[in-house]
A and B are shown apart, each in its own frame.
Chain A
Amino acid sequence: KAGVTQTPRYLIKTRGQQVTLSCSPISGHRSVSWYQQTPGQGLQFLFEYFSETQRNKGNFPGRFSGRQFSNSRSEMNVSTLELGDSALYLCASSRTGGGDYGYTFGSGTRLTVV
């Protein structure tokens, strides 16, 4: 079966711009989580959506937002990009929420802010 699909794979944006990243979970998975990964900070939790509702949120500024559609696909948006937003953004899907049966991760979107 198809895995978690993230688009685009690579993105270069200018400081101050906004960006939208997309994630299609595994068929049948209703939960989508987003993580930011940087070399020195490991996996930082952004938010988790289950059945179109945000169920948990990490400690990121309001510039980071997300949503989930009725088909479980999810998007995350970062507005007013800063250089420090350069990172690998990972999406993870699971059948139930909270990752308590494990996550399946996508390959990520690498965002570079210049």
Chain B
Amino acid sequence: GENVEQHPSTLSVQEGDSAVIKCTYSDSASNYFPWYKQELGKGPQLIIDIRSNVGEKKDQRIAVTLNKTAKHFSLHITETQPEDSAVYFCAASTGGFKTIFGAGTRLFVKA
């Protein structure tokens, strides 16, 4: 069946460094790719998203890139700060009431 693979499962970086999380999807009909951040004790929060007709999107320190040919998309966080520490989930949606989430990446930003 369709799935989304997410790597790495855990990522530890020094404050100020960049962090990259990568996802691969299997369903070529996927056309919407959101990223969610989940802080301790809270539900996931949508932080950035990209659609299949766009290759890259930026919002301040975060950016997402999409390679439809390779079925890869990535989250890039620059100048990481301790408050970026959280679990990040990628997802792929085909519309038609089907969104599939990756397994999550736990990001630690060391001060």
A residues whose Cβ falls under 8 Å from a Cβ of B: 4, 33, 42-43, 45, 48, 50, 55-56, 90, 92, 97-108
Q: Do A107 and B41 touch across chains, with their CB atoms under 8 A apart?
A: yes
B24 to chain A, nearest CB (A): 15
Size of the B side of the interface (Cβ < 8 Å), in residues, is 25
B residues whose Cβ falls under 8 Å from a Cβ of A: 31-32, 34, 36, 41-46, 49, 89, 91, 93-104
Contact of B43 among A56, A97, A100, A106 (CB under 8 A): A106
Q: Given A42-B102, A99-B99, A100-B95, check contact A107 B49 (CB 8 Å).
A: no
Q: Do B101 and A43 touch across chains, with their CB atoms under 8 A apart?
A: yes
Instruction: Give the docked Cα–Cα distance between A55 and B96 (Å).
Output: 9
Q: Do B46 and A103 touch across chains, with their CB atoms under 8 A apart?
A: yes
